[in-house]
């Protein structure tokens, strides 16, 4: 009996007879002892597969730099290989013709593949992320519109913990196909606090006050040192910025900016540097206005 005839019978909702199944499987002379041996081999392969998974996970975790996800994936794959070998060996003892069975399995695999293309795409993207140096667990990244600490890379998603304590799961294919900013890759990152000083202020004194204010904060690192910059001449005053480095985390950045801005305000007050208010002049030229 051919595979096409069996499939046609199934489509017509007619169950194949025992003779047809026997002909399809190619089992003309089955014996009880063959079933017992085959079952023993398959059960043994299940036990060995579990042992291989545990042993593989232990060896890979200890002797390689693979991520936890990659270690789990490889160890599980090794276990499935053992199970597949055991299954093939078992059915071979019974005498089943594996040719038609393999075709049937391939048909099922193809159907499942097209039915779950999104899942497969995320799974494949997860494999790409495991071999990519873009980020590792514990890094702070920005991707898919979210910023957070990488807590896990699963078969389907990259899991981030955001600054407000929420958990965001981003599909792997969105991460691989999008822009990934690794905020903590280099260890530190820079931020700026901008402020205006009234016209008539000494540029040198303002820059000195800015550098000293940033240097006095524990939240800002000393190397590289803070840098004071004159940015622009505004209608109400001269705009300056102090650029400083700090720990890369999102909360670290907020705390560092807060500390430096507070120190700048105190330093300006102690040095007599005036932060001007926005000015609006009314009137016509020659009358005190524009």
Given this model, what pLDDT does residue 119 score? 62
Given this model, what pLDDT does residue 116 score? 55
Pairing mode of beta strands 227-233, 146-153: unpaired
What architecture is the 3-122 domain classified under in CATH? Orthogonal Bundle (1.10)
Distances (CA, A) of 33 to 93, 149, 261: 10, 58, 83
Which tens digit of pLDDT belongs to each residue from 143-172?
A: 988 999 898 887 778 899 988 889 999 988
Question: Scanning the structure block, which residue is given the tokens 């006050």?
Answer: 209
Distances (CA, A) of 262 to 193, 199, 207, 212, 217: 10, 22, 16, 12, 10
Given this model, what pLDDT does residue 83 score? 82
Average pLDDT per 10 consecutive residues for the chain, totaling 290 residues? 48 52 52 77 86 84 68 76 80 66 62 58 63 78 89 84 89 85 86 95 95 95 93 94 92 93 95 84 52
Element at 11 (helix H, strand E)? helix 3-11
pTM of the model: 0.54
The residue extents of the domains of the chain are 3-122, 134-182, 189-271
Rounded CA separation 232/100 (Å): 78
Please state which CATH class domain 189-271 belongs to: alpha beta
Supply the DSSP string of 223-250, one letter for each residue.
SSPPEEEEEEE-SSSEEEEEEEEE-SSH
Rounded CA separation 119/112 (Å): 10
Domain boundaries 134-182, corresponding CATH code: 2.30.30.60
């Amino acid at each position: 009996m051919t595979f096409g005839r069996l499939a046609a019978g199934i489509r017509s909702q007619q169950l194949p007879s025992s003779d047809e199944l026997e002909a399809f499987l190619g089992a003309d002379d089955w014996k009880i002892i063959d079933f017992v041996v085959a079952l023993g081999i398959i059960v043994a392969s299940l036990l060995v597969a579990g042992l291989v998974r545990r042993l593989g996970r232990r060896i890979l975790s200890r002797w390689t730099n693979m991520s936890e996800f990659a270690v789990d994936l490889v160890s599980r794959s090794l276990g499935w290989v053992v199970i597949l070998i055991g299954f093939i060996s078992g059915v071979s003892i019974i005498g089943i013709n594996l040719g038609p069975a393999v075709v049937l399995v391939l048909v099922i695999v193809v159907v499942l593949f097209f039915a779950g293309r999104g899942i497969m795409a995320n799974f494949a993207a997860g494999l790409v992320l495991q071999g990519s140096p873009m980020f590792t667990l514990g890094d702070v990244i920005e991707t898919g519109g979210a910023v957070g600490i990488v807590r896990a890379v699963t078969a389907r998603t990259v899991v981030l913990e955001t600054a407000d304590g929420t958990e965001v799961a981003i599909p792997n294919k969105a991460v691989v196909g999008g822009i990934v900013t690794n905020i903590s890759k280099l260890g530190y990152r820079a931020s700026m606090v901008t402020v205006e000083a009234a016209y008539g202020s000494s540029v040198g004194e303002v820059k000195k006050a800015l550098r000293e204010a940033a240097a006095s904060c524990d939240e800002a690192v000393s190397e590289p040192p803070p840098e004071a910059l004159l940015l622009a001449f505004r209608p109400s005053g001269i705009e300056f910025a102090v650029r400083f480095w700090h720990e890369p985390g999102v909360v670290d950045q907020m705390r560092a900016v807060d500390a430096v801005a507070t120190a700048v305000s105190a330093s300006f007050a102690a040095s007599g540097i005036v932060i001007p208010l926005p000015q609006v002049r009314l009137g016509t030229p020659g009358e005190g206005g524009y």
